[in-house]
Amino acid sequence: MNSVAIIGGGASGLMAALFAARGGADVTVYEHNGAVGKKILASGNGRCNIINTNATYHDYAGNDPQWITYALKQMSFHYFQSLCHSIGLLLDIKDDGRCYPLSNEAKSVLIALKNGVIDAGVTILIDSKVISITKNDSHFIVQTEQDKQSYNKVLIATGSEAAPQLGATADGYGFAKKFRHEIIPTYPSLVQLHLSSKHPPQMAGVKTVAEVTLLIDGKKEGTVTGDILFASYGISGLAILDISQKASHALLHKQRVSISLNLLPRYERGELVNILEKLFASIPKHDIHTALCGLLPAKIITYLLDDAHIALCAHVSTLNPKEVKKIAHLIGEWKFDVIDTHGFKHAEVSGGGVSTAQVNPKTMESKLVEGLYFAGEVLDVVGRRGGYNFNFAWASGMIAGKEMAK
């Protein structure tokens, strides 16, 4: 019988444990937290966006996104759904492909998975921080702060540094490095951004819908429309999280990063000039701030006009056509330089990690060390928002688990 150690009782580790034990292996999961699956519980605002029915490698970033194609095919949505049924978990499938537990509670995902793992005969060791993994001949020695045990096979499923308050560590990278694996530099993703302008903190708390364009070294890298929220440190909101992977990756590589906000994306630029002209003509005695209050949040107007160098108290009748065009231009293209992210503490996931070039995509086994496996976020694979990160954690965990039982 194969004796298998799984380091990390998160999404990928628990999935691997289920398949390895169902395949007949003697499985031990090491988890340094006082409980397994803390990120599962915190995910999707407590609802757990558990998978996406439409995932392809295009939804992921990393040095070689196509590397995950095999894993995604193995864990097709229908396969995942029947697996969930086998552990008593029913899914709520949304029109856009996102899936949640039918209960709408992340807790039910963890309860079902943990019970499935226990039913399959897995030993779960909580409060067990692995501090080293070594190999002598055919056996691995897994050492915790309390003791050491030997195993035929080891899976590193320690996740990433994102959200350390939930117990995230960078330990997996250290273990991998000791076995000569290359680590692609890591960076926070699905994270809020810090801006150089003094205005965002002054607008803290203001939420609106905008079209956000990401510019890297002055070149357009993508546009997303959605919620934005100004904050004391810069900017947040779903549209910002959606562009944050590319922004954070570019910052890591010392590229110039900026965002351009279109605050009224429903109008073309020329149309907006006409709308403003008509608006100002209908209320000539109003000051410019009051006049714009029907279009935009009041605080935004204050700082937008500051950037346009137009006095708030100026009467609209005093504005010349150039100034009206300038206001329309800023509403459609308000630019901010991005100087940093809000960091791993606030990030949902991490980019970078163990290089996929040295891991077999069909088995998740190391190409350098026989019997050593990797799964989940510790690898250089990062997904978009929408259930894609769990998708890869489940898929890679399943493959590793099946293989380790062989």
Ligand X SMILES: Cc1cc2nc3c(=O)[nH]c(=O)nc-3n(C[C@H](O)[C@H](O)[C@H](O)COP(=O)(O)OP(=O)(O)OC[C@H]3O[C@@H](n4cnc5c(N)ncnc54)[C@H](O)[C@@H]3O)c2cc1C
Binding site for ligand X (CB under 6 A): 7-13, 30-33, 38-39, 42-44, 48-49, 129-130, 157-159, 162-163, 167-169, 171, 348-349, 376-378, 387-390, 393
DSSP bridge pairs for 229: 207, 236
The H-or-E segment that residue 193 falls in is strand 193-195
Closest contact distance (angstroms) between CB of 125 and ligand X is 9
| C-alpha 174, offset from chain centre | 22
Q: Looking at beta carbons only, is 211 or 377 nearer to ligand X? A: 377
Q: Looking at beta carbons only, is 30 or 151 nearer to ligand X? A: 30
Q: Looking at beta carbons only, is 12 or 186 nearer to ligand X? A: 12
Q: In what order do the strands lie in the sheet with 91-93?
A: 51-52, 98-101, 91-93
Closest contact distance (angstroms) between CB of 8 and ligand X is 3
- Terminal Cα distance for the chain, rounded: 9
Closest contact distance (angstroms) between CB of 391 and ligand X is 6
Phi and psi, residue 176, nearest 5°: -65, -40
Closest contact distance (angstroms) between CB of 305 and ligand X is 37
- CB contact set of 138 (below 8 Å; sequence gap of 6+): 152, 371
- What is the amino acid identity at position 165? Q
Q: Which residue number has the CB closest to ligand X?
A: 10
- What is the amino acid identity at position 129? K
Q: Looking at beta carbons only, is 140 or 388 nearer to ligand X? A: 388
Q: How far is CA 315 from CA 91, 151, 282, in A?
A: 57, 78, 12
Q: Looking at beta carbons only, is 162 or 331 nearer to ligand X? A: 162
Closest contact distance (angstroms) between CB of 380 and ligand X is 12
Q: How many CB atoms lie within 10 A of CB 205?
A: 10
Closest contact distance (angstroms) between CB of 301 and ligand X is 33
117, two tokens: 């793992």
Q: How far is CA 276 from CA 232, 307, 383, in A?
A: 30, 18, 41
Q: Looking at beta carbons only, is 332 or 387 nearer to ligand X? A: 387
Closest contact distance (angstroms) between CB of 340 and ligand X is 19
Enter the DSSP assignment of 310: -
Q: Looking at beta carbons only, is 32 or 194 nearer to ligand X? A: 32
> Would the CA dihedral through 19, 164, 126, 374 be positive or negative?
positive
Q: Looking at beta carbons only, is 103 or 302 nearer to ligand X? A: 103
129, two tokens: 């921080």
Closest contact distance (angstroms) between CB of 34 and ligand X is 10
> Tokens 């990690």 label which residue?
353
Cα separation, 303 vs 261, whole angstroms: 14
Q: Looking at beta carbons only, is 301 or 381 nearer to ligand X? A: 381
Q: How many CB atoms lie within 10 A of CB 347?
A: 26
Closest contact distance (angstroms) between CB of 149 and ligand X is 13
